[in-house]
Structure formats: C-alpha cells, structure tokens
Structure 1
Amino acid sequence: MIDFRYHLVSLASVLIALAIGIVLGAGPLKEGISESLNSQVVQLRAEKQDLRTQLDAANSSIDTHQSFDKTVLPAAVAGRLADRTVVVVALPNADSGVTTSSEDTLGAAGASLQGPVQIGEKWTDTSEAASSERAGVATTIAGALGLRTTATGDDLLNDVLGATLLTKVTDATAEPAIPEDRRRASWDALRTAGLVAGDYPSTPGSLAVVIGAPEVKVPTATSTGAQSLPSLAALAGALDAAGTGAVLTAQIDPKATDSTSVIAAARGESALRQRLSTVDDAGSSIGQISIVWALVEQAAGRVGQYGLLSGARAVFPSAG
C-alpha cells in the first residue's frame, strides 16, 4: 500500500513544476517565445506576398497569351476554307464548348457551315433490339436513297448518314449526288428513329468536322463506353469517305491514364489512320487552327494525326 506521504510529495512536485513554468513563461522565456511567434508571422506574410506576386504574374501571362491567341487565330485560318461547305457532327457527349469554338473557327476560315448534327445515344446502343432496329432503318433508307453498297448493319447506317450529309461534288453549280428530296426524307427518318438531332443540313457538305467526347472512363475492357468507341470512329471514317475529307477532333487530357477516347480508337485502326485526320487538343487555339489546316490537307488528299497524345505525328499541320 502506497504511503499517504508519497502522494503529498508527488502533488507538491507537480505544483512546484507548474509554478516554475509560470514564472519562466512570464519572465525569461516570454521574450523568446514572443520573438519566435513574431518571426513566424513575418515569414508567413512574406510568403503570402510572394505567392500573390507569382499569381498576378501567372494571370498576366495567361491574359497575354489569350489576347495573342485571339489575334493570331483568325489570321491563321482566314480564307482557308472559302467556298467550302463543312458539316459539323457532334458525337454523343461531345463537349459543347469545343463544338461552339470549332464553329466559330470554321466561320472565321470562310467556311459555309451546316449543323451541328447531334448523333444520338441509340447509334451505339449494343442491345440486340437496338441493333436490329438500326439495321432495319438503314436498309429502308439506303433503298430510298438508291445507295449501291454491300455494307450491312451499322456500316450501312454509317453510309446512309454520309450520303445524307456529304457529297464529293466540289463544283457549286453541279447537282449533288443524292437529290435534295431524298436527302430530306433520309434525315427525317433518322431523326424519327432517334438516331440524330439538330436542324436539317439543307446543303450537303464536302468536308466534315466530327467532334468527340473529351474521354471515356474505362473501368473494364468490356464496358459499354469502351465498346462504342470503335463504332464512333468507324462513323467518322464513313463521313470521310462520303465527302472530300473529314477531321475527327476532341479535347483529350494528355495526363489521363485510366481512360481512352474516340481519337485513340481511330488512331489505333490502321485503315482509318491512313485516311482520317485527327486533332486531340481542340480546346486550345493551336488545336482550333489544326482543325482548319487539317481540313485543307484533307481536301488536297493528305492526312495527318495532330496534337499531344500517343499516335500524334506532329503538334500541328504544316501551314503549306
């Protein structure tokens, strides 16, 4: 059993230590603690001011670059697509900002715009019922359009859309390959089936800009999003074949490691890569210029893969 005097000694020791701490804190140590705290406050204020200066400099740099972009972009594209009709096609989940920017840039390049045409989610629905419905719609429209093709299923549907939106005819005075009344009937049938949306493109284009989604997260190799990408890339390829050329574009995060995109799907298919141009940084001014210059290349029978991602052969096309 512990002696009561032991408790008294322990309590006295605690009280003496507390008293010494109070005396030192209010006396010899007070000045040191105060100086240390003041020094830390001064240092933090200096660091805050330094960060503010860096932020102001960064904002000023961004404003300067944006001002430069706004000045250079119109000059870089001016007149390059004069007398060209370009159809803008937005794939499911396409970035509306990229779509708007692309339309503005194409307009600045002198293009006559048609669209944007929105591709519906039903276009890539993998269910058996949806696939069967698309095949039936495609067969009916293809017959009405008078298409001569051996394609079936979704490949035939892609050809139907291509014939509805585009033509290889470059002479503005020549008759389009498909009469306007048949094109209109095809559009109405596709829209009624929920496959497309938007205003009817009254004039067939010779070139197309196809805008994809920023990226598709792929948790598994068999995910629905991943399975739709090759189909959408094939659609872009069909639009390229139906006209004088096409560019598939999107704004893809170059740092993304757990995702893929329709751009990657197109670049991964050798047959598409050899005839369909792609631009993976459409959200930037350089990307917007690349879209126009790539269309010019397409009209001249050339092809290229541009941007910052794997598969890009150059950051941007040649201005020649």
Structure 2
Amino acid sequence: MIDFRYHLVSIVAIFLALALGIILGSTTLSQSVTKGLQRQTSSLARSNEELRQSQARMEAQLKGDESFARAMGPQLVADRLNGQSVVFVETPGASNDSIEQLSALAKSAGATVTGRVTVQKKFLDDNQTGTIDELATQLRPPAMAFPEGSGPYEKAAAVLASAVVTRDGAMTGREDASAASVLGGFRQAGYVTVSGKPGQHATLAVMIAPSSLYAYEGGDSDNRALLALAAALDGTGRGTVVGGPSTAAQKGGLIAALRDSDTVKSVSSQDTVDTASGQVVTILALQNELSGRSGRYGTGSGVNGYLPSPVPAAGGNG
C-alpha cells in the first residue's frame, strides 16, 4: 500500500530533480552565453583596432596633405592676382590666423594687400541701427544714392564698401578724402577698427566668417547685416569671397546664410579657409571672381566642388 511517506519522498525527489535540471541547464546556458559574448568582444576589439589604425592613417594623410598645401601654396597661386589688390574684412569671432595666412598667400599670388577692416560687435547691436542709419547718411559720398527701401545696414554697407574697394584701376593704391572720412567716422563710432591702409581702394575683398555660430537671439539678423556688406563689397569692387571654417557652413553660420540667399549668385564662398588647401582655393575663387564667375567651394552642403572646375589658368586674372 502506498502511504503518505511515499508521496512525500516522490514529491521531494521531483523537486530535487527539477532544481538539479535548472542548475545544470543554467550552467550550460551560462557557458554558451559567455562564449558568445567572448567571441563578440574579440570581434569588437579587432574592429576597434582596425578603426584606430584607419583613423591614424587618415590623420597622417591629412597632415601630409596640409603640409603639402602649405609648402606648395605660394607656387600654386603665383601670378594669379597680378596687378590686383585685396582688402580683408574680419567679422566678430573670425580667426586671425586665417587672415594672416591668406594675406601672405595673396601676396604670393601677386596682389597688394591694402589692409584690414575689423567689424566690431557694436556694429551688429540692434540698438545701434538708428545711429548707423544716421552715420551712413552723413558720410555718404556726394555721388552716391541709396536705393529706395535701403535699411541701415544696406546704407552702411554701401558707404563702407565705397571707402575700401573699387573697380576703377586709377583709384587703387591711394586713399582719398572721402575714404578717410568714412573709415574715420565708423572707427570713431566704435563700429570698426582698421589696420594697414584699407582706404587705398582694393580691387578684391575677402570676408572671414566667424568661427562659431551667432547662437544668441538675433543671430540671423547679424548674418544678414554682414551679407549686406559682402554684397556691397562685391558690387563696388571686382569680386568678393566669404571664407570660413566648416562651422560657418552649418545651419546658422554666415556661409550657410550666404548660400541660402540671393547674394550667392555674385559672392563666392569657401568653407575650409582654416586649412592650407582651403586658402589656396580662396585665391582661385578670387581669380574666378575677376572674370565674373562665382562659386561655392569646400565640403559643406550645396557646394559646387572642393575647388573651381575647371581650375583657372595661372596668370589669367581677368
């Protein structure tokens, strides 16, 4: 006869067997999972090492390309801007290094660098628009008429451009009373500073975009103010290029704003101006501007290519 003790022992045996099965199964599963994870870890380690090696090779290649462009740049641009002159316009937050390097390269291309105009933050202050309007009207050359509907920055841009660039070869290399008055007035008001002799009327202009975005409220209006100046420089002189680092071609940047505006039809842009190769391309873009050809160069969205295609011939400066 099967008694209660038999049932109890059977039940205990069943549970012991179940527990043992779970333990054995878990151990087997754990070993399987562990081995799988070890294989994945080894594979990831190999992939990471390959990526590190690939990155190191790319960095070495980029460093080599930069060294090549830095060393060969003066020869690559030689005689491309013979007989021309260049003025640099520095925006708030622009890289001084880029201007210095581009200035040296422009000289290697045969151009004279007249000087630099540095736009101050005060010029972009929304509270200054009334004063800027009055100052531009006061300093306007007698022969200049503002287009109907011109705002303060369009007026100021036209007046400033008339002081630093020209299409007339007879005006280059000398500063007249009007240019001195304009630059002096904007300087005394705290809107610009100058170095060199930008009033000697260059034929070409390079505007260097900020290295970081104008992220604060009103950044878009600041970009529009600077684009008004770029457009005026281009229209008054023989060509203008806006150059900046890759950040300037991102949303909110000056170059991105340029490429989204009608000004892109006449003003060239270059978004790797902080590199040696980008500086060479900026000189090529200036050369193309002399022939009335504008383009978007670099690596950002909507570019025509890294450099002009076809590359303008050496010595052919329009």
TM-score greater than 0.5 by the shorter chain = yes
Q: Secondary structure of 2:126's match? A: coil
2:74: which partner in 1? 74
Give the whole-Å Cα distance in 1 for the aligned partners of 2:122 and 2:93.
13
Conservation of the 8 A alpha-carbon contact between 1:254 and 1:309: no
Aligned to 2:237: 243
Corresponding residue for residue 163 of structure 1: 162
Deviations 1:151-171 (A, max 9, x none): 45221110000000011113x
What secondary structure, in the 3-state scheme, does the structure 2 residue paired with 1:88 have?
Answer: strand
- For 2:258, the aligned partner's letter is A
TM-score by length of 1: 0.74
- With over 3 angstroms needed to count, the CA separation of the structure-2 counterparts of 1:50 and 1:163, relative to structure 1, is closer
State yes or no: 1:141 paired with 2:132: no
How far off is 1:66 after superposition?
3.5
Distance 2:73 2:175 in 1: 37
For 2:153, the equivalent position in structure 1 comes to 154
| Distance change (3 Å), C-alpha of 1:126 and 1:54 | same
Q: For structure 2, which runs of at least 5 residues remain unmatched after alignment?
A: 1-48, 313-318
Tell me if structure 1 keeps the 8 A contact 2:117–2:192.
Answer: yes
Give the alignment's TM-score, normalised by structure 2. 0.74
Give percent identity, aligned residues only: 25
How far apart are residue 100 of structure 1 and its match? 1.5
Letter in 1 for 2:259: R
Aligned length: 263
Aligned partner of 1:95 in structure 2 is: 95
Alpha-carbon spacing, 1:226–1:56, altered in 2? closer, same or farther (3 Å)? closer
Q: Distance in 1 between matches of 2:304 and 2:239?
A: 19
1:217 Cα offset (Å) = 5.2
RMSD of aligned C-alpha atoms? 2.8
Q: Check the 8 A contact 2:297/2:306 in 1, yes or no.
A: yes
Counterpart residue number, 1:9:
none
**CA shift digits 1:87-133 (9 cap, x unpaired):** 11111111112111211221221110022210111221112xx1111
Give 3-state SS (helix, strand or coil) of 1:135's partner.
helix
Unmatched 5+ stretches in structure 1? 1-48
Contact 2:248 2:254 in 1 (8 A): no
Cα distance in structure 2, aligned partners of 1:255 and 1:249: 10
Q: Name the CA shift for 1:251/1:114 in 2 (closer, same or farther; >3 Å).
A: same
> Which amino acid counterpart does residue 260 of structure 1 have in structure 2?
G
Cα deviation, 1:139-162, whole Å, max 9, x if unaligned, reads: 00005x532333452211100000
2:109 alignment partner in structure 1: 109
Q: CA deviation at 1:50?
A: 10
Q: 1:8-39: CA deviations, max 9, x gaps? A: xxxxxxxxxxxxxxxxxxxxxxxxxxxxxxxx
Decide whether aligned partners of structure 1 residues 122 and 53 sit closer, same or farther in structure 2, where only a CA change above 3 A counts.
closer
What is the match of residue 185 of structure 1? Answer: 181
Selected match of 1:252 from 229, 246, 269? 246
